[in-house]
């Protein structure tokens, strides 16, 4: 997979995201990238709708976005930061290597918009560590430190 070099134009829409990430429906969990400082920070958007397939079973009559999928959305945004910051990451799959300090502070429901903010903590070779936060209406919903290994 090849990814065109980032030309500095924001926002990055779903076509641009799909040119970077290998994920597809129903597991593509980021809709737009709105801020980027290569090698440092990124902000992405995930619009949560009742059409998400996981709401059928989580939970019937009381739809709640699973926390693990919020972490996955954060990881996908972090992968975009890594790929746009280091040309060697382009075309590589990112695998979760660890999750630390995960806290779920607010329930995420259909109709919410997740604002996913990630900051690079460190990179050593093909291993990256990022601090992530997910907000709904400027209220912190989820936070964690995420580690990934690029194959």
Q: Which of 90, 102, 98 is nearest to 127 (CA)?
A: 98
Would you mind telling me the total number of residues written for the chain in this entry?
151
Question: Six-digit token pair at 41?
Answer: 């920070």
Residue 117 and residue 133 in contact, taking contact as beta carbons nearer than 8 Å? yes
Question: Six-digit token pair at 43?
Answer: 């902000």
Active-site residue 58, yes or no? yes
Catalytic member of 58, 106, 109, 129? 58
Question: Six-digit token pair at 5?
Answer: 């070099």
- List the strands of the sheet with 127-136, edge to edge: 32-37, 41-47, 113-124, 127-136, 139-150, 94-104
Cα separation, 136 vs 57, in Å, equals 22
Q: Which residues are catalytic?
A: 58
């Amino acid at each position: 997979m090849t990814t065109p070099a980032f030309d500095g134009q924001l926002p990055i829409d779903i076509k641009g995201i799909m040119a970077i990430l290998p994920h597809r429906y129903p597991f593509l969990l980021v809709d737009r990238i709105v801020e980027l400082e290569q090698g440092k920070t990124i902000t992405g958007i995930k619009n949560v709708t009742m059409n998400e397939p996981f709401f059928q079973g989580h939970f019937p009559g009381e739809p709640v976005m699973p926390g693990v999928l919020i972490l996955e959305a954060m990881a996908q945004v972090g992968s975009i930061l890594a790929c746009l910051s280091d040309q060697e990451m382009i075309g590589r799959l990112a695998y979760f290597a660890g999750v630390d300090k995960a806290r779920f502070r607010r329930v995420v429901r259909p109709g919410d918009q997740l604002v996913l903010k990630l900051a690079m903590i460190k990179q050593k070779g093909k291993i990256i560590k990022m601090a992530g936060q997910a907000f709904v209406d400027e209220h912190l919903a989820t936070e964690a430190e995420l580690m990934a290994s690029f194959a």
